[in-house]
């Protein structure tokens, strides 16, 4: 089976945010299938890197999707890290998923 993760970044500030970068990491039990969204992705091993989004207006969301398939059963974590020019530290989110054969 496949699983699709939806990543949504919303600029909660009052000014535009710039150079929004999304990087996703898969665990060994998952295999990349496809991706789509606000920018295009490149894949290197288990890391999916989306091209930077040049600008995100105040109160505006941007969405990306990553579809993976289970290679073997297990308890995995899908990790997403976001950086922008306005943030002083990366934002990291993790989604727990139980994969079945």
Residue 23 is predicted with a pLDDT of: 98
| Distance between CA atoms of residues 2 and 59, nearest Å | 32
Mean per-residue pLDDT for 21-45?
A: 97
Structure-token match 């969405």, residue found: 63
Mean per-residue pLDDT for 29-42?
A: 97
- Percent of the chain at pLDDT > 70 equals 99
pLDDT above 80 for 101:
no
pTM over 0.85: yes
pLDDT tens profile 84-97? 999 999 999 999 99
Beta-sheet strands, E only, within the chain = 2-10, 17-25, 30-37, 41-44, 47-50, 53-56, 61-70, 74-83, 91-99
Q: Tell me which DSSP letter residue 19 carries.
A: E
């Amino acid at each position: 089976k496949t699983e699709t993760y939806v990543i949504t970044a919303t600029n909660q500030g009052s000014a535009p945010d710039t150079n929004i970068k999304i990087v996703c990491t898969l665990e060994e039990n998952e295999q990349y299938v496809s991706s789509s969204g606000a920018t295009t992705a490149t894949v290197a091993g288990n890391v999916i890197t989306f091209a930077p989004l040049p600008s995100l207006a105040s109160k505006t969301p941007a969405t990306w999707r990553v579809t993976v398939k289970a290679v073997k059963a297990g308890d995995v974590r899908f990790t997403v890290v976001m950086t922008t020019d306005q943030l002083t530290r990366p934002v990291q989110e993790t989604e727990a998923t139980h994969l079945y054969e």
